[in-house]
Amino acid sequence: MADLPPLSTIPSLPQEAQLRVLDTLFEPSPELHQLMIPVLANQTFSSYTNLIDAVGGRMSALSAPNSPTDRDVLFGILGSHPRLGRAPANPEHLSELSKKEQAQLNEGAEEQAEKLRALNAEYEEKFPGLRFVTFVNGRSRDVIMVEMRQRIDRANTEKEIEETIQGMCDIAKDRARKLQSRI
């Protein structure tokens, strides 16, 4: 599992190391890299929470429905998150942190796993370009599936974008907290 460098060093790190910070907190995304390279190179943050909030703010700024180009960038970022409860076709694309966070969703009856796969497919059909993202935080597969159903039935793309950004930031904050507690 990756470690996080001291915040004060991020602007002076090589770009590759700066991008590893983003990939550790979020998931690898070329669009997120492009969005945040200038920020990481030129700005310091007082905490990882503040850095993550800055990323969330930049993502939210891309969500305007009247800017298709910005939304394409945003959907590239949001779509980089792995599907819940499903091993990716290419396992190296799932970060070690995602594997640990989703461990309990990958356990249990095949019937439940199939229901989760079906909900993922229904969600992605309802919200093209998005993946269902939530801060699992130890919650059971059943609880997550109830949340998925509610969000699908709500059918509000703008609210879904907002909740997806928030979910990614909540996950990133949890990762930062856990990684910093190891130091």
**What does the pLDDT look like over 77-116, one tens digit per residue?**
999 988 887 655 555 444 555 555 555 555 567 888 899 9
Number of domains in the chain: 1
Average pLDDT over residues 58-84: 92
The answer to the question of residue 74 being in a domain is yes
Q: Which residue has the tokens 């190179």?
A: 41
Q: Evaluate if residue 17 carries a pLDDT over 50.
A: yes
Structural domain for 58, as ranges: 7-181
CA torsion through residues 81, 83, 87, 89, sign: negative
Spatial separation of the C-alpha atoms in residues 112 and 141, rounded to whole Å: 8
The answer to the question of residue 11 being in a domain is yes
Terminal alpha carbon distance of the chain: 13
Q: What is the pLDDT of residue 107?
A: 57
CATH number for the domain harbouring residue 172: 1.10.3330.10
Tokens (6 digits) for 63: 């969500």
Residue type for 147, please?
E
Q: Determine contact, residues 36/58, Cβ cutoff 8 Å.
A: yes
pLDDT in tens, 20-62: 999 999 999 999 999 999 999 999 999 999 999 999 999 999 9
pTM of the predicted structure, to 2 decimals: 0.86
The answer to the question of residue 57 being in a domain is yes
The answer to the question of residue 81 being in a domain is yes
**Across all residues in the chain, what is the average pLDDT?**
88
- Look at residues 4, 30, 28 and name the one whose alpha carbon lies nearest to residue 93: 28
